[in-house]
Structure 1
Amino acid sequence: MTINHPWSNRSCLLLLLLSVCLLTPGCTPFTFPAQQPVTGGDGSDGKEKITLTVWHDWMGQDSTSATMRSLLDRFQRENPQVELRAQPIIRDVYRSRLKTMASAGELPDVFLIWPDSMTREFVRGGLIQPIDDLLKSQPEWVAGFMPHSFDSFTVDEHKYSVPMSMAPTSFVFYNKAIFDRYDVSVPETWDELMEAVRKFNRNGVTPIALGNKSSWVAQSAIFSTLADRVTGTDWFLNVVAQNEARFTDPTFVNALTRMQQLAKAHAFQENFNYIDHIQMEQLYYRKQAAMLIEGGSVVSNMIAQAPKDVLEATHITLLPDVPGGKGRPMSTSGVVGTGFAVNSQLQGAQREAAFKLIYALAAPEAQRKILNSNTLVSYRLDVDRSVAHPLFVELHQLVNKVTLLPAYETQLTTAAVEALSQGIQELLKGGSPEELAKKLQDTQANVLGKFR
């Protein structure tokens, strides 16, 4: 999940000018009727129809995307006075397109936004407005979220979105039948992982399917957790803030070297930088790869698309610890999921409709539907085992045992995320870990210097 296209110089200047602005919304209070469902009128009261442009990335045929589109459709039916002009955008280009529209001052009314760095940068640019009034009007709903669910959408004590899911970004999905066939143990240490890679290669099986054409996959699904295994979380938080830590430190160069070690050992198929994450999943489904490293969201895709025998043989584990590393055991990178943000220009009836839409897609009933679609949520709900697939139950149980680590893609500045993602593409082809570390250090430091 990263930006795929560089901005023009003009766009960069526009964003920089936006970034030094403070967000000062002059919003009117927003309230829902007490204990009433959030529904609109029937459009027969003579009021002018409200139009909302909405951007999202729910284009897939998986159950999660289908569920979210159905929630949008339901909102439209129950609020005929609001016309939703929804535009689904392919995940690989969503963030870059959103950034382009932000720099041009042409953002949609309501749009998916990522937590942490992306939220902070949009707030600094004066592009989105707080949803505090919405949250204050529904205290029981807010109390149902897990602790810290709103932290990553909070800037200067104001909240800017509501998580509609939970997004751990790095799990190892493995086909136990393939492991058993070649007498390979599920790796619990780095050395065991490298031995598994060697055994699968000897038997003509790709150890780990990888589709890094769009560059975010290797960075998001593998490196974020692998780097923490080496550096530990405290170092990462310090380097994000450029506080007595630098990406040129030996510990980070070691993390990059470990990532490169996987490629040099032929852990991935040869064309890993030329296929996307969908093609990557297909390699696993066709039993051409023994493992797949992806976020928890891939489970809904597997349930919808994987052959029955592959699905039944698939289990989930974590990336192994690295010798001498400072990372926390039983952990994986991740964040609360994406949420809808509201354009800072929205006022009056449009703003009220936007808040209703956010509630409709993140209310308790919606959270239950999302959970039942085999997607993790940040809301306090138990899995209904009569509905959930066994693989999702396994995922849910594992998530309850692990610690979520800060994810590189949401903590770094967006320019640094792009530099890291594209740099890892080069690193896996033999590029220099030291050169990538220096480029990342320069990028993060320069951007923070502009924002300070």
Structure 2
Amino acid sequence: MKKKTKSLIALLLVTVMSAVMVVGCSSNGESKEETTDKTAGGDNEIVFWNIGTEEVDKAIYDKAIEMYHESTDTEYTVTSVPVQNDTYKEKLVIAMSSGECPDMYINWSGGPMNEYIESGFAQPITELFNNSELPDRLLEASVAQATYKEDIYAVPFMNVSLSGIFYNKDMFKQYNLEVPTTIEELEKVSDTFVENGITPFALANAPKWTGSMYFMNLAARKGGLEPFAAAVDGSGSFEDECFIYAGDKILEWTEKGYFPEGVNSLSEDDGQARQMLYQETAAMDLIGSWYTGLIQQDSPEFYEKIGWFPFPGLEGSDVDSSIMIGTIGDNFISFNCEDDKLAAAFECATKFSEDEMVDFMVESGKVPPVKGVEDKLTDPITKSIMESANNASSTQLWYDQYLPPAVAQAHLDSSQELFGGTITSKEAAEQFQKAMEEYLSESKE
């Protein structure tokens, strides 16, 4: 196990370190609290790494921890250590590579979580989970994402996060535009904005995962989910026509001016994409549904101008256009502690799904993965997102969360190059497939 742990963490470390130069360019001036290297706490301290550096997420983390301290007769104190999103994975893996890891930490499930588990830095919580109220509270789909080899390793919380298109209703009305239901209609809408000097999409692609949303949605609308599943298990390939199509569309849309100048140098964490929306220099943004809370926090007045629609399907295609890209849970809390400390950390994590917290998150624009949450929603955008979630035949987890880290990085790198126009769709597919083949070969050794 020790040899396997080292090899897995080494692979993770190489992956995240390859992105250091990129994430370093998108720093937004973190506080000392956000850059602390503190990992595991002492005997009575539980250190909790998370990405709650900005409101409204910070308020959610703080409230859950406060509820734990106030309602639980415990000897443990939970210390929140927020880390900026773009550098979070890097810091977590570097800590693990040093044989350290916080007592509690958030992740996004999928391939990276599985490797944390295999490396010994996430403990099974199946018994604790089944003896709690969580089975009756949480959506089964979110629990499935927290499960690995029949054991539960994380507590899903925070949000049902799906990618979709936020748009400026006033700008659509100004140019007599209807919400598009096909990709062809979306292109006509985008062409109208370009003709009038407006950037169709507010994209900040320095972190790469933002641009990946376009690739994932386009590939799913062209080929469904089967080509992706086949490429991952080795029976298919990331050189399938649906991935070539996605790359071709990104190149075409970049050439037509659908994205801002210098798109690959713009920071999502610094809010540069949202600023384009607020300044009305861009009309739409394909992004995760967490934008509901962010925009409401930034500007409740501007939020009144915003609408939302799912990524449209291909005209005349028989591919299921109800498929959504995202997560049923968004953030997951895993644990690197044992015995009484593990029980205490788990108890803190359960606070996120209690009624008081669920109400607080809904009021903050979140859709926590709890049963019956749709009955609590009043915001029309959030209700539309949840309707799409409920109507979806299936939900594809973000590629960079589902795939093994090295393969995910190859995808992110090649996707960003497509937006920069420095690679062809065929070359991007070849890089993606090569990384997948290398991983499958190494995993058999």
When the two structures are superposed, what TM-score results if normalisation uses the length of structure 1?
A: 0.83
Contact 1:223–1:259 under 8 Å retained in 2: yes
**Is 1:441 aligned to 2:396, yes or no?**
no
Give secondary structure in 2 for the equivalent of 1:95. helix
| Whole-angstrom distance in 2 between the partners of 1:233 and 1:17 | 27
Match of 1:304 in 2: 297
Q: Partner residue of 1:110?
A: 104
Match of 1:269 in 2: 260
Alignment partner for residue 313 of structure 1, among 290, 305, 308?
305
Q: Would you say 1:143 and 2:143 are equivalent positions? A: no
Aligned: 1:155 with 2:148: yes
Identify the match of residue 15 of structure 1 among 9, 21, 25. Answer: 9
Report the CA distance between 1:152 and its aligned residue.
1.4
Q: Distance in 2 between matches of 1:262 and 1:442?
A: 26
| Alpha-carbon offset, residue 218 of structure 1 | 0.9
Partner of 2:227: 235
Q: Counterparts of 1:161 and 1:332 in 2: how far apart (Å)?
A: 23
Q: Does the 8 Å CA contact 1:335/1:404 hold for their aligned counterparts?
A: no
Distance 1:324 1:230, change over 3 A: farther
Q: How much is the aligned-residue C-alpha RMSD, in angstroms?
A: 2.4
> Is the contact made by 2:50 and 2:81 (CA closer than 8 Å) also made in structure 1?
yes
- CA-to-partner distance for each residue in 1:294-342, whole Å, 9 max, x for gaps? 111110001111361x322211111121356564212320112211101
Change in Cα spacing, 1:321 to 1:351, as seen in structure 2 (3 Å) is same
**C-alpha contact 2:322 2:388 (8 A) present in aligned 1:** no
- Mean CA deviation greater in 295-304 or 97-106: 97-106
Cα distance change, pair 365–187 in 1 and its aligned pair in 2 (3 A) = same
The amino acid of 2:196's aligned partner reads N
- SS of structure 2 residue aligned to 1:149: helix
Aligned to 1:358: 349
Distance 1:222 1:415 in 2: 20
Q: Which moved more, 1:51-60 or 1:94-103?
A: 94-103
Aligned equivalent of 1:406: 396
Deviation at 1:131, TM superposition (A): 0.5
Q: What CA deviation, in whole Å up to 9, does each residue of 1:251-287 have, x standing for no partner?
A: 3212211222221211111121111121101110121
Task: Give the counterpart letter for 2:149 in structure 1.
Answer: D
Supply the distance in 2 between the matched residues of 1:211 and 1:361 (Cα, whole angstroms): 30
Paired residues of 2:44 and 2:77 also in contact (CA < 8 A): yes
- What secondary structure does 1:333 align onto? strand
1:203 aligned residue (192, 196, 204):
196
Instruction: State the Cα deviation string for residues 166-222 of structure 1 (Å, max 9, x = none).
Output: 443311111111011112232222221111121111111111110011111111x32
Q: Which residue of 2 aligns with 1:101?
A: 95
After superposition, the C-alpha distances for 1:375-418 in whole angstroms (9 at most, x for unaligned) are 11221124466x84443334333433334421212221111111
How many angstroms does 1:374 deviate by?
A: 1.6
Amino acid at match of 1:204: G
Contact map agreement 1:150 1:162 (CA 8 A) in 2: yes
CA displacement, residues 15-59 of structure 1 (integer Å, 9 cap, x when unaligned):
25999xxxxxxxxxxxxxxxxxxxxxxxxxxxx961111100011
Q: Which amino acid aligns with 1:314?
A: I
Does 2:247 align with 1:256?
Answer: yes
Q: Comparing 205-214 with 351-360, which one deviates more in the overlay? A: 351-360
Which amino acid in the other structure matches residue 153 of structure 1? A
2:409 alignment counterpart: 418
Q: Which residue of 2 aligns with 1:7?
A: none
Match of 1:34 in 2: none
- Out of 308, 322, 331, the residue aligned to residue 330 of structure 1 is 322
- Structure 1 residue identity aligned to 2:273: M
Which residues in structure 2 correspond to 1:126-137 (within 5 Å)?
A: 126-137=120-131
Structure 1 contact 18–124 (Cα < 8 Å) conserved: no
Could you tell me which residue of structure 1 aligns to residue 29 of structure 2?
none
Q: Which residue of 2 aligns with 1:289?
A: 282
**What SS class does the counterpart of residue 322 from structure 1 fall into?**
coil
| Counterpart secondary structure, 1:377 | coil
CA contact 2:323–2:396 (8 Å) conserved in 1: no
> Is the deviation greater in 224-233 or in 319-328?
319-328
Q: Does 1:60 align with 2:50?
A: no
Partner SS for 1:148: helix
- Name the SS of the counterpart of 2:157 in structure 1: coil
In structure 1, distance between residues paired with 2:220 and 2:200? 22
Structure 2 residue ranges without an equivalent (≥5): 14-41
% identical aligned pairs: 24
Shift, 1:224, TM fit: 1.7
Return structure 1 stretches of 4+ with deviation > 4 angstroms. 11-14, 16-19, 323-326
* Cα distance in 2, alignment partners of residues 362 and 305 from structure 1: 25
- In the TM superposition, what is the alpha-carbon distance from 1:293 to its structure 2 partner? 1.0
* AA of the residue aligned to 2:65: L
* Greater Cα shift, 118-127 or 155-164: 118-127
**Cα distance between partner residues in 2 of 1:330 and 1:348:** 44
For the residue of structure 2 that corresponds to 1:207, the secondary structure is strand
Match of 1:375 in 2: 366
Q: Distance in 2 between matches of 1:83 and 1:141?
A: 22
Q: Which runs of 5+ in 1 are unaligned?
A: 1-10, 20-47
Give aligned pairs, total.
406
In the TM superposition, residue 73 of structure 1 has moved relative to its aligned partner by 2.4
Q: TM-score, normalised by structure 2?
A: 0.85
* 1:348-398 Cα shifts (integer Å, max 9, x gaps): 32222112122223345433432332211221124466x844433343334
Asked if structure 2 preserves the Cα contact closer than 8 Å seen for 1:248 and 1:437, the reply is yes
- Is 2:386 the counterpart of 1:396? yes
